[in-house]
Structure formats: C-alpha cells, structure tokens
Amino acid sequence: MTYASPEYTRDARYIATRITADGRDGYPVEAGRYRLVAARACPWANRTLIVRRLLGLEDAISLGLCGPTHDERSWTFDLDPGGVDPVLGIERLQEAYFKRVPGYERGITVPAIVDTRDGAVVTNDFAQITLDMSTEWTALHREGAPDLYPEDRRDEIDALVEDIYRDVNNGVYRCGFSTSQESYERAYDRLFTQLDRLSDRLAVQRYLVGDTITEADVRLFPTLVRFDAVYHGHFKCNRTKLTEMPVLWAYARDLFQTPGFGDTIDFGQIKDHYYKVHRDVNPSGVVPAGPDLSGWLTEHGRESLGGRPFGDGTAPPPVRREEAPPAIG
C-alpha cells in the first residue's frame, strides 16, 4: 500500500512468473507440484478459491489457508496445528517469498502459488493466476468444468474487468485508505457510478458477459460479498448498502447460492481481517456484530433472466469437508 499522496495507490508489482502447459517460464503444469496459499479473508485470494473449485483443480493444486489476521511482516498459518503449514513446513508465508527472492521487499500477499519442491513462491500475480487456471491447466480440469474465459468473449471480459478492478475491486480501497476529502470523494463517486452501470447491465442479463458465469463474475463477486460486512462502514462506501441495490443484491445472492461461490466465504474471517488488521482505519480493533447474513440464502429470482450458470458444463461437486467454511443460516 502506498500513502505518499492522499490518494491510495496499490503496489501492482508482482512476481509474474507463470505456470504454463508448455513450461516456458520454467514451471510446467504438473498435478500435485504446486500449493495455492490463500486466505478466506482476502478478496484477491477469494478469486482463486472460486476458480479452483469451479474447474475441479483440488487434486491438482493443494490448498494452504492463512489465518485472517497478520502483522506487517506476513500472513501466517495460525489455523494449522502448531501454526505451521503441513505441506510447506513454514509459519509465515514470508519464508516462501524469501526462498524465491532473498529479502523480498514488497508486500507479502495472497494468493501465492508455491512450488512444493523447493518451497519458493512461483507467482503472486493474482489477476493472471485465475486466467492461467482456465487456459493453461485444461488437461487437469474436472469433467464438466465450465469455460470461464471463452476465447470469443475475451476482449469483452478484459475490458469489463479492467473497469471493475479500477472502480470497484480497488475502488473500495481507494475510498477506505484515502487521506484527503477530495481523493475520497473522487473514489466514492467512481465506485458508485460504476456500480450503477453494472446494475443497469445486470438488470437485463443474468451474468456479466454472455449467458454463463465467466471470469468477470468471479472478479466482481468477492467485492460485492464483502460490501455490507466491511466496505459500507469500514471503508466509508456508504451511499447505499448492497441490500439496498436490488439488482446487484439479487445477482450477488444468485452467485452466492451457486456451488463454488458461497462455499468459499467465511464472513467471520472477513470481518476479523479488516477490522483487526487495519488499525489506522479502526484503531479500537472492535469487530462489528452484524450484519444479518440470513438474506444471502433467500430467493433471488434471477432465473427469470435465463442463462446457464455452467454453460455446457456442470456444477462442481460439494465442497470438501476439510475445505468447507462455516455455514450461515
């Protein structure tokens, strides 16, 4: 995070090495070799959890989960016995970054994919990770895996997700971490202008691009699902709650109730992360008791718009018990 100016700027310099089918970067697709390190609290990591579920890559890419809180040094494996990741044998994700780049000076971020052979991070480029899961890992997709990045719609998806990233995914952070009234109001206006545009788009179609779930939906959902629990109050994104935006609220519920989306969400961990870690925004560290989550399970009515969630594919099987977050309701 950069605070040199009143307007928040995300450090977008990532370890951009790719895992590819042909191994051109030195890391070929290989079942069982890599471990996805994520955190349920983090929206950027949430994308990888969703795509891994939808494509059925659980056997191909193992999962390590960090706890929801961390200090300035690193995400930690405090959910595991002894606070040690059982595969990588480390307490802090920082150790895997240092294996790749000694003294790594940028943010220790999730998601990160780690090579279990040497314990070093391969990549933390969250935007590319999910695209590569869709396009490079096809030989290991489950039978019936949906096409989340269809070739004939990629230009449309790319343009849309750029807008979503700038104004919504990162826009809520630009609101929350602004240190001047002017920069905050600019981010606030862009956030809600974009949400209104997305609402207009989704009023006449069930999903963002075409009639099936795509990468675009995967990228919008993690921000929407955190909106009322965190961004509305904690980040001052308070024009309206998600529950007060009828189209987006119905769309978010539709996805939440779709296998692969809601079964990656842990609202308790989400709230713990934002309210306990961001002490510059919430100095007391007190975590709100609300909001009421029962609405996420109510009927959404989006079926009336048609659409086929998984296209010519099928829904993923039930989430594995060891990877299931707490149920709501």
Question: Is 175 a catalytic site residue?
Answer: no
Share of the chain above pLDDT 90, in %: 94
Q: Active site residue: 34, 97, 173, 275, which one?
A: 173
The pair of three-digit structure tokens given for residue 141, joined into one six-digit string: 């997709």
Sheet holding 120-123, edge to edge: 61-65, 34-38, 112-115, 120-123
Quickly name the fold that domain 153-323 has.
Glutathione S-transferase Yfyf (Class Pi); Chain A, domain 2 (1.20.1050)
Closest CA to 220 of 145, 300, 165, 284: 165
User: Quick one: pLDDT at residue 96?
Assistant: 98
Contacts of 5 (CB under 8 A, 6+ apart): 183
Which regions of the chain carry the CATH code 1.20.1050.10? 153-323
Could you give the C-alpha distances from 117 to 48, 87, 88, 262, in angstroms and in order? 21, 10, 9, 32
Binding site annotation covers 75? yes
pLDDT by residue (tens digit) across 172-211? Answer: 999 999 999 999 999 999 999 999 999 999 999 999 999 9
pLDDT tens digits, one per residue of 127-142: 999 999 999 999 999 9
Token pair 């919504």 is at which residue? 168
The torsion of the CA quartet 194, 133, 50, 81, rounded to 10 degrees, works out to: -130
Task: Tell me the per-residue pLDDT of 54-104, one tens digit each, with 9 for 90 and over.
Answer: 999 999 999 999 999 998 888 999 999 999 999 999 999 999 999 999 999
State residue 329's pLDDT score. Answer: 65
Confidence of residue 3 (pLDDT cuts 50, 70, 90): very low
Query: 34: helix, coil or strand?
Result: strand
In this predicted structure, what is the pLDDT of residue 310? 98
Q: What is the pLDDT of residues 225-278, one digit of tens each?
A: 999 999 999 999 999 999 999 999 999 999 999 999 999 999 999 999 999 999
Q: Cα–Cα–Cα angle for 51, 267, 259, nearest 5°?
A: 35
Q: pLDDT grade, residue 5 (50/70/90)? A: low
Q: Are 184 and 161 in contact (CB under 8 A)?
A: no
Pseudo-torsion of CA 273, 274, 275, 281, nearest 10°? 140
Marked catalytic residue, from 42, 66, 175, 237: 42
For residue 313, which amino acid is it? G
* Annotated catalytic residue 173: yes
Q: How many CB atoms lie within 10 A of CB 307?
A: 16
Task: Give the number of C-alpha atoms closer than 13 A to the C-alpha of residue 133, restricted to the C-beta side.
Answer: 31
Q: Where in the chain is the domain with CATH 3.40.30.10?
A: 34-140
Q: Do the beta carbons of residue 83 and residue 92 sit within 8 Å? A: no
Torsional sign, CA 7, 270, 35, 310: negative
CB-based contacts of 4: which residues, under 8 Å, 6+ apart?
Answer: none
Query: What mean pLDDT is reported for the chain?
Result: 96
Biggest alpha carbon distance in the chain?
54
Amino acid 13: pLDDT: 85
Q: Does residue 2 have a pLDDT over 80?
A: no
Report the topology of domain 34-140.
Glutaredoxin (3.40.30)
Encode burial over 269-297: b for 16+ CB neighbours within 10 A, e otherwise: bbbbbbbbbbeeebeeeeeeeebeeeebe
